[in-house]
């Protein structure tokens, strides 16, 4: 019985060694499965404990006392060794099962956590995809707006150039008109200066005539001529003259007869075919006079 037990143990050890030899040749997938399911750990523990037991048995010096008694209790010895091996196997199996259960629970917790993380990640990916689609639509809209703005800018630049060209033309026309107006104003100023000179000359003549008239006092002078006739009258209150077609009468109240002349009052009247009159109106009794044309 003892030899049979050792033979079975050696057969189990040989089978495990054969499995360990075949593991590298079974491929990476089988190796990962072997590691993931926790089969290798208890096997390794069993092999390690078996090697320790063999080492202890090998290094033990056995002292046998030879007894001539033929009644050797080999069954109890084999039962004791078998009990030790079963105890070791049970402890190894219990440890392996406990480790497997803890590992399985950890993997379940990890799988649950990873499942929740995967769900959250999928939701985030969906949200990011929607954001990307929305941003693409906004980018297309902005591109269209940019194209429209570029077209509007080009049109505005073209219209601005045309308006600037038109404004420059109008500015040139206004500058020409301004220069023409300045020239016309200068001409009008020259004409005005000439007229002022003429007026000054006339004012001087009027002053001279006024002085001449002031020398006669309040008397009267009547001149008449034309057609070979001439009349002159001077008096303080009345004057009388006879002439042809024209005549001049000067006096306080004088009468002149001619072809077409008549004067009355304090002034000078000339008459003729085409007559004009100059009248001095007295503003006082005898000294200051005013010219009315």
Q: How many CA atoms lie within 13 A of 114 on its CB side?
A: 6
Does residue 44 fall inside a structural domain? yes
Instruction: Decide if 290 contacts 284 (C-beta within 8 A).
Output: no
**224 falls within a domain:** yes
15/108 same-domain check = yes
Shared domain for 102 and 224, answered yes or no, is no
Whether 129 and 225 share a structural domain: no
Distance CA 217, CA 6 (A): 187
Among the three residues 89, 114, 133, which one is the final residue of a domain in this structure? 133
Tell me the pTM.
Answer: 0.29
Among 247, 243, 242, 284, residue whose Cα is nearest residue 268: 247
In a domain, 202, yes or no: no
Strands (DSSP E) found in the chain = 221-225, 231-233, 239-242, 246-251, 254-257, 267-271, 277-282, 289-292
Per-residue pLDDT of the chain (293 residues), as tens digits, is 566 766 776 776 676 666 666 555 555 555 555 555 555 556 666 666 766 666 666 555 555 455 555 555 667 777 777 787 778 777 777 887 888 888 888 888 888 888 888 999 999 999 999 999 999 999 999 999 999 999 999 999 999 899 999 999 999 999 999 999 999 999 999 999 999 999 999 999 999 988 888 765 444 444 444 444 444 344 433 444 434 334 434 444 443 433 333 343 343 333 333 333 333 333 333 333 333 33
Claim to verify: residue 114 and residue 231 sit in the same structural domain = no
The domain containing residue 249 runs over which residues? 218-292
- Identify the H or E element spanning 182: helix 74-214
6 within a domain of the structure (yes/no):
yes
* Domains in the chain, number: 2
Domain boundary among 115, 133, 151: 133
**Residue 103 is assigned to a structural domain of this protein:** yes
Domain boundary (106, 133, 160) is at 133
Whether 45 maps to a domain, the answer reads yes
Answer whether residue 252 is part of any domain: yes
Same domain, yes or no: 226 and 124: no
Residues 128 and 223 in one domain: no
Instruction: List C-alpha distances in Å: 18 to 11, 21, 143.
Output: 10, 5, 71
Let me know if residue 176 belongs to a domain: no
């Amino acid at each position: 019985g003892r030899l049979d037990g050792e033979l079975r143990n050696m057969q189990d050890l040989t089978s495990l060694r054969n499995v360990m030899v075949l593991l590298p040749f079974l491929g990476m997938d089988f190796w990962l499965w072997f590691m993931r399911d926790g089969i290798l750990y208890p096997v390794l523990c069993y092999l390690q404990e078996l090697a320790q037991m063999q080492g202890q048995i090998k290094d033990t010096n056995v002292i046998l006392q030879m007894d001539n008694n033929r009644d050797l209790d080999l069954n109890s010895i084999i039962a004791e060794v078998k009990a030790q091996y079963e105890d070791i196997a049970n402890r190894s199996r219990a440890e392996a099962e406990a480790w497997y259960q803890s590992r399985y629970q950890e993997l379940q917790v990890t799988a649950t956590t990873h499942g929740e993380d995967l769900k959250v990640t999928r939701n985030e990916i969906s949200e990011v995809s929607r954001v990307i689609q929305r941003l693409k639509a906004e980018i297309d809209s902005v591109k269209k707006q940019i194209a429209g703005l570029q077209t509007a800018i080009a049109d505005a630049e073209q219209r601005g150039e045309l308006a600037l060209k038109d404004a420059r033309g109008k500015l040139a026309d206004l500058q020409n008109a301004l220069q023409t107006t300045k020239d016309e104003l200068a001409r009008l100023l020259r004409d005005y200066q000439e007229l002022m000179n003429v007026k000054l000359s006339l004012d001087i003549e009027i002053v001279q005539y006024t002085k001449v008239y002031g020398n006669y006092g309040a008397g009267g002078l009547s001149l008449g001529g034309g057609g070979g006739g001439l009349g002159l009258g001077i008096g303080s209150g009345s004057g009388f003259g006879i002439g042809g077609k024209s005549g001049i009468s000067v006096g306080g109240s004088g009468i002149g007869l001619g072809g077409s002349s008549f004067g009355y009052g304090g002034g000078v009247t000339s008459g003729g075919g085409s007559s004009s009159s100059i009248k001095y109106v007295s503003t006082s009794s005898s000294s200051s006079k005013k010219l009315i044309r």
